[in-house]
Structure 1
């Protein structure tokens, strides 16, 4: 085997013109990778003074090849080793990143240069030959995405290195194969000396320190106040107390709840966010250089792998819960006699959702890039930092699923835009359903069907695949993501199902619904069958020998998300009314309560952790289920702790401030109880007390009108005890921490 590093510099030495007296083009090592730091030469920069320094460094390196001093060994070890039979072979592992840029030769021997670690994507394109005529047809790739690493001289420009590498392949093997060579340098980087912090980064540090101090001051203020009581009704007192850990931490980590029948949402939220994190961990792993790329191609052939490829339906679970709790909050406020105030409706949403979101976007744009380094750092982390510096405003305006979608800030944040847009148009549906029984019974079902027909029609019109098949052509993934996956009008089905479920549960929460056993059995049968069909129904569509059928793809794309929401609606209903048994016990497990309160902040922050570890990977990765599972659990643990810090420092305090200065007050009004039914003993269930406190929402469970991760926790003290067991046939009610005055 031959070290590519030696081959490259020899090739470059032979191909270069004679050296001339030139000054070193760069005074000090710096990033030269695309998407790098705040300043420095661009990726494709050519040294303005010419190629003389590069040639002299290459000559010096080659002259050291006989005795191989320590610095030369480190540089060679960072280069991939070519194997015989390149065409059709799997790429060799990338050399270790740390061996190249961190080891520099003595300045007297090597002109003060340092190593530059580069990763190149090589493609050999050969002619397509018609066997019947022998004529050359369209070009076909012999070798694609062949990733190689090499440690080159820092003074050599990226274009010069690409030319040298291409020249090597053309001389050594492409000519024998009658093929052309395309070389794309993905990134090159030299050893990065610490650069001074720029104004945005300094502002980010000051911002974080300020809120950290506010948490400390608020905690001390409350602690001293408990020892010496004081009047806490002043504006500054309420602000400081909103930051206190003595108040916020117990609410976050408390595992105890009452027997509220919506406690099943705890489990649905937690397992859904875990599913999302697992999927994102997998997708970022396969983006890394792999030593066994063939394994990725084999994954779609296994049924169980559909759990990974179809994790996107976990987002539809949150859309369902969003619509469900939004409808319940809306109806309970109407029952309290609170008039609908559109200004407070929208203001409440923005103030509760935006603060932690803005903090994470700010972190992406400023400090994220400084966290680490690695061969894939600029491809993963640098790109995200760059796009957030440019397009942060699309996120804070919640239009990033329509604007600048080619350069999105926080790839996963499209969901927050979709959820917010659906929230903003929801009053139209909510008010019509509230005021018109005809609309609820006849128009609403039509809306649900239309919401499913929208992605059906788009898929048929553009002849799109049924879903985003990561094993398919990249352009197909992009088209599905752009036309079907991100637009709010294509994701409205589960949200509308949640709204309808909320109305049904609200109007029937007082009456025990006693269903025959065969009805319960049918409900679970159809629900389970629908869930399994949605997850595993794409198996045949993902196989390489599958023949595309536009109607087959359109049907799945149009109806699978709505079917998922309808199936989960039965699960929620069954848990509420005692027909879920062990399923309800698992989903309502009190141990999951603290983690469920963190789901929104986990969603915001989990990609930072995934990007960090993926971008910091120093060499090629062996892809396996065990590797992905191990990375997932490591990511999950760290995400929980990061989410706790984000919640206690930014989310909980702004929830407290919002509640302290924005009041929703209503007057109790007379209502007609429609659900007082006798229990088995003939006793009439007591009617629900009126005038419960207005609902709240938060990513940690502190404010429940954030439609993505509404929290279900302890109900108000006036709540009647829920049905814990269908056989007991006790009074029914639903409870939610949203209905409490404190988070």
Structure 2
């Protein structure tokens, strides 16, 4: 009897303990366990908006009844954020699941920005610390303020699937009211904000008249290509004889592919292969930057990489852009000297040919950005990634047309990479009289060109030194997210007067090689290999020297920053110039055979279109992301390889329909005018 009573008492104790443990693991869990960011409500039942209020109450009632459509809205929303300390600040939920809800109320997907402010953590926190003390306060890492290479975890974006009848303000008020009642630690406060461009419904975008105009324009170009190709085959490649048919002949695929597949006519043509290889490097570099600007699972890994040698090559990849300036200056000098030597140079025709070589494809891309591009995708961040690009091109297209986009409204520049075209056009206009002077009065021309190069070094030095600007653009996350708003980018990086030295070094190189390329001066194999090795060391040293400016703890020295800003592009262009001299006058069989390959030469002719097109795929993938990416170097290479392949095919289409026909038509019209004048 006594034993039975004892067993019953013991069993009662076990039941009570089990109930207490269960209660601790369920009902009191939120009170006992620290929560950095709470789960947010998906309804606004007390909203002043009657439709929002009624639909929210319908949603809550359906949730209580475990109705499928309502639970689907809850399931599509991001619940309590996870991985925030490692940098996963975008809790994207399930975009498609939310918009696919089929219920009595329409759903909408909203990204809510929740910001935490901490009054005091009780510790003296060093923002430049490399490794956090595991015993320190978590709020030190959340604040993460003062270090430009790190992203604060004080703001998190949480996806909510809410009734579409609720405006962004209705949702913001409901969340703010909830956060005011939320039990948070002392000194910690939460605020919420919902931007209208971060809310999406399943409503389809309507095509406007300008969208149809763009589609019709490209359809007409395709029809002209088909007609021109048919005409080419009907005349067996010979000229029809009339100007109208000759112009239609310019659209022939066979003719334009023949231009694309031209064999190596002289050693200078290998610069086409160099241009393509540089374009591929730029695509790789832009893909790395785009991945860094995307929502990431492992943002902390990228933050730690910013001061490593591994990422230094990515940091300094922007120097490859100077190769394009140098090659452009070289080609202009070389072609212009040929025209002057043949006594058939016409400045107006030369400038017009250049403009018609650049402008048509550029205008097509601007038109595409301003109209159709936005309609071709969707995603949680589509409006903040692709939307601004559309708006900038709708408002500032005319600055690109006049090649002043790197000076006028540059903070809202259409086509971020188009600053290069503005700089290049400015340099091209200056280069014409300089090359003419070099041809007519070599000594005076050389002095003028030397003076221009010297000034192009001094200007960035003075801009950086006098205004106490950083030595270079630091490609931290805040810059990758909004490059147009960066002070150094606007005042130094995209301005013609601070980017001129590589172009005019290329101009000098073109002049020197034009006078020596057909001569007897050659460089033997051993000197060629030695010079090539020296070039590699010089270029590597130039790139790696910039990594010291990524150390946020390093004291700023305006003289040092100014010296680097003025000299590094000049030194880089000197190294590339020596390499070009070696491959044109020297003996490097492996490199020469590679650069002389027909495939690379053909792809080199597509470089300009690739330069214009490849950002489309970057914006497309970034804006259309439905979940965070994982940052790794292998991931960058794989994505960049896809970008390059897609860009090649898209560039071939743009080349055959727009660039090549317009360029050849301009050449035919100008040659007809010259022939008429001679008669």
> How would you bin the TM-score normalised by the shorter chain?
0.7 to 0.9
Report whether the alignment pairs 1:243 with 2:251. Answer: yes
**What SS does the corresponding residue of 2:42 show, helix, strand or coil?**
helix
Q: CA deviation at 1:87?
A: 7.8
Report whether the alignment pairs 1:573 with 2:606. Answer: no
Q: For residues 173 and 567 of structure 1, do their structure 2 counterparts lie closer, same or farther at Cα, with a shift above 3 Å needed?
A: farther
Deviates more, 1:141-150 or 1:359-368: 141-150
Aligned length: 615
**What SS does the corresponding residue of 1:438 show, helix, strand or coil?**
helix
For 1:648, the equivalent position in structure 2 comes to: 656
Provide the rounded CA distance (Å) in 2 between the counterparts of 1:92 and 1:381: 18
Deviates more, 1:89-98 or 1:311-320: 89-98
Deviates more, 1:73-82 or 1:355-364: 73-82
Provide the rounded CA distance (Å) in 2 between the counterparts of 1:519 and 1:246: 43
Provide the rounded CA distance (Å) in 2 between the counterparts of 1:194 and 1:169: 34
For 1:488, the equivalent position in structure 2 comes to: 496
Give yes or no for contact 2:525–2:588 (8 Å, CA) kept in 1.
no
Q: For residues 379 and 309 of structure 1, do their structure 2 counterparts lie closer, same or farther at Cα, with a shift above 3 Å needed?
A: same
Give yes or no for contact 1:262–1:575 (8 Å, CA) kept in 2.
no
Give yes or no for contact 1:320–1:497 (8 Å, CA) kept in 2.
yes
Q: For residues 451 and 173 of structure 1, do their structure 2 counterparts lie closer, same or farther at Cα, with a shift above 3 Å needed?
A: farther
Instruction: In structure 2, list runs of 5 or more residues that go unmatched.
Output: 1-28, 125-142, 146-151
Q: For residues 456 and 472 of structure 1, do their structure 2 counterparts lie closer, same or farther at Cα, with a shift above 3 Å needed?
A: farther
Q: What are the superposed Cα offsets for residues 672-713 of structure 1, whole Å, 9 maximum, x if unpaired?
A: xxxxxxxxxxxxxxxxxxxxxxxxxxxxxxxxxxxxxxxxxx
Give yes or no for contact 1:81–1:92 (8 Å, CA) kept in 2.
no
Report whether the alignment pairs 1:222 with 2:232. Answer: yes
Out of 411, 415, 422, the position equivalent to 1:410 is 415
Q: For residues 7 and 511 of structure 1, do their structure 2 counterparts lie closer, same or farther at Cα, with a shift above 3 Å needed?
A: closer
**What SS does the corresponding residue of 2:268 show, helix, strand or coil?**
coil
For 1:68, the equivalent position in structure 2 comes to: 66
Q: For residues 584 and 383 of structure 1, do their structure 2 counterparts lie closer, same or farther at Cα, with a shift above 3 Å needed?
A: same
Q: CA deviation at 1:645?
A: 0.4
Q: What are the superposed Cα offsets for residues 649-694 of structure 1, whole Å, 9 maximum, x if unpaired?
A: 0111112211111029999xxxxxxxxxxxxxxxxxxxxxxxxxxx
Deviates more, 1:432-441 or 1:344-353: 432-441
For 2:49, the equivalent position in structure 1 comes to: 51
Q: CA deviation at 1:463?
A: 1.6
Q: CA deviation at 1:184?
A: 4.9
For 1:553, the equivalent position in structure 2 comes to: 561
**What SS does the corresponding residue of 1:501 show, helix, strand or coil?**
helix
Give yes or no for contact 1:323–1:495 (8 Å, CA) kept in 2.
yes
Q: What are the superposed Cα offsets for residues 229-261 of structure 1, whole Å, 9 maximum, x if unpaired?
A: 986110111011111112222332x3x624722
Provide the rounded CA distance (Å) in 1 between the counterparts of 2:123 and 2:73: 46
Report whether the alignment pairs 1:156 with 2:150. Answer: no
Q: CA deviation at 1:394?
A: 1.0
Q: For residues 88 and 652 of structure 1, do their structure 2 counterparts lie closer, same or farther at Cα, with a shift above 3 Å needed?
A: closer
Report whether the alignment pairs 1:335 with 2:341. Answer: yes
Q: CA deviation at 1:203?
A: 0.9
What aligned pairs does 1:276-315 form with structure 2 within 5 A after superposition? Answer: 276-315=282-321
Out of 413, 431, 439, the position equivalent to 1:426 is 431
**What SS does the corresponding residue of 1:301 show, helix, strand or coil?**
coil
**What SS does the corresponding residue of 1:467 show, helix, strand or coil?**
coil
For 1:618, the equivalent position in structure 2 comes to: 626
For 2:108, the equivalent position in structure 1 comes to: 116
Out of 204, 208, 228, the position equivalent to 2:214 is 204
For 1:603, the equivalent position in structure 2 comes to: 611
For 1:77, the equivalent position in structure 2 comes to: 75
Deviates more, 1:258-267 or 1:401-410: 258-267
Out of 272, 291, 299, the position equivalent to 1:266 is 272
**What SS does the corresponding residue of 1:122 show, helix, strand or coil?**
strand
**What SS does the corresponding residue of 1:65 show, helix, strand or coil?**
helix
For 1:463, the equivalent position in structure 2 comes to: 468
What aligned pairs does 1:370-519 form with structure 2 within 5 A after superposition? Answer: 370-471=375-476, 474=479, 478-515=486-523
Q: CA deviation at 1:195?
A: 4.5
Q: For residues 581 and 466 of structure 1, do their structure 2 counterparts lie closer, same or farther at Cα, with a shift above 3 Å needed?
A: farther
Q: What are the superposed Cα offsets for residues 629-654 of structure 1, whole Å, 9 maximum, x if unpaired?
A: 22111111111111000000011111
Provide the rounded CA distance (Å) in 2 between the counterparts of 1:585 and 1:543: 41
Instruction: In structure 1, list runs of 5 or more residues that go unmatched.
Output: 18-49, 108-112, 133-138, 668-743
**What SS does the corresponding residue of 2:99 show, helix, strand or coil?**
coil
Give yes or no for contact 2:371–2:390 (8 Å, CA) kept in 1.
yes
Provide the rounded CA distance (Å) in 1 between the counterparts of 2:228 and 2:85: 65
**Taking structure 1 as the reference length, what is the TM-score of the superposition?**
0.77
Provide the rounded CA distance (Å) in 2 between the counterparts of 1:385 and 1:194: 17
Give yes or no for contact 1:328–1:502 (8 Å, CA) kept in 2.
yes
What aligned pairs does 1:151-190 form with structure 2 within 5 A after superposition? Answer: 151-172=161-182, 176-179=186-189, 181=191, 183-185=193-195, 187-190=197-200
Out of 596, 599, 623, the position equivalent to 1:588 is 596
Provide the rounded CA distance (Å) in 2 between the counterparts of 1:373 and 1:473: 23
**What SS does the corresponding residue of 2:658 show, helix, strand or coil?**
helix
Q: CA deviation at 1:124?
A: 1.6
Provide the rounded CA distance (Å) in 1 between the counterparts of 2:673 and 2:588: 37
Report whether the alignment pairs 1:97 with 2:95. Answer: yes
Give yes or no for contact 1:232–1:238 (8 Å, CA) kept in 2.
yes
Provide the rounded CA distance (Å) in 1 between the counterparts of 2:659 and 2:378: 30
Q: What are the superposed Cα offsets for residues 446-485 of structure 1, whole Å, 9 maximum, x if unpaired?
A: 3212211211111112222222212276599711111111
Q: What are the superposed Cα offsets for residues 54-98 of structure 1, whole Å, 9 maximum, x if unpaired?
A: 111111212222343332233223222214897897436421211
Q: CA deviation at 1:102?
A: 2.3
Report whether the alignment pairs 1:8 with 2:41. Answer: yes
Give yes or no for contact 1:80–1:92 (8 Å, CA) kept in 2.
no
For 2:331, the equivalent position in structure 1 comes to: 325
**What SS does the corresponding residue of 2:566 show, helix, strand or coil?**
helix
**What SS does the corresponding residue of 2:413 show, helix, strand or coil?**
coil
Provide the rounded CA distance (Å) in 2 between the counterparts of 1:250 and 1:517: 34
Provide the rounded CA distance (Å) in 1 between the counterparts of 2:624 and 2:291: 12
